[in-house]
Amino acid sequence: MSVGLVLLLTISVAYAAGFKGIMKAWRSPTNAAKAMVSGSEPYDAATVRKLLQAYIADSDDIKSHLSTSAESEDLKRRFTAFQSDAKAALGQLDSAAKFKAAYAPVMDNCSSCHDKYRD
Ligand code: HEC
């Protein structure tokens, strides 16, 4: 299903820009966290904590704007799973190795949702 249609069905037109804005805001700090995971940037627990907290808070914001259509309910479930993986990762920040292991499942939520709902 095309994303345009999904957004039309699930997210009010007024909120579509807000949704995209949140996703866009995640891009750069997510790339920074990936660089820490790959070792090309030094690991910084405070920076990744902020990012994980933003994923969790922003997902609450998105969920509060979704309707009760079947697609919306699926999206809500996906954002809730994403939040729970992000919460688990918050408890694994004391070393780069632990963060790396906990961040992989967090990232899987991005790709699996995009595979289904993003053009
Ligand atoms: C439960 C679903 C879901 C999850 C989880 C999710 N996204 Fe998205 N994302 C979407 C959808 C749907 C779009 C398409 C929005 C559009 O184009 O209208 C999107 C679009 C984007 C975009 C493009 C925004 C633009 O228009 O320029 C970026 C960047 C992005 N997501 C980053 C992420 C990152 C990084 C994560 C994980 C940390 C993530 N997303 C997790 C559903 C999700």
Residue ranges lining ligand 1, Cβ < 6 Å: 3, 7, 20, 23-24, 26-27, 30, 55, 75, 78-79, 82, 109-110, 113-114, 117-118
Q: What is the pLDDT of residues 55-109, one digit of tens each?
A: 999 999 999 988 888 888 999 999 999 999 999 999 999 999 999 999 999 999 9
Domain boundary assignment for the chain: 3-117
Task: Report pTM.
Answer: 0.92
Q: What is the pLDDT of residues 4-63, one digit of tens each?
A: 555 555 666 667 788 889 999 999 999 999 999 999 999 999 999 999 999 999 999 999
Query: Across the strands, what pairs with 66?
Result: 11
Residue ranges of the alpha helices (H) in the chain?
Answer: 3-10, 13-38, 45-64, 70-90, 96-117
Shortest-distance Cα residue to atom 30 of ligand 1: 23
Shortest-distance Cα residue to atom 8 of ligand 1: 23
Per-residue pLDDT band for 1 (boundaries 50, 70, 90) equals very low
Q: Classify domain 3-117 at the CATH class level.
A: mainly alpha
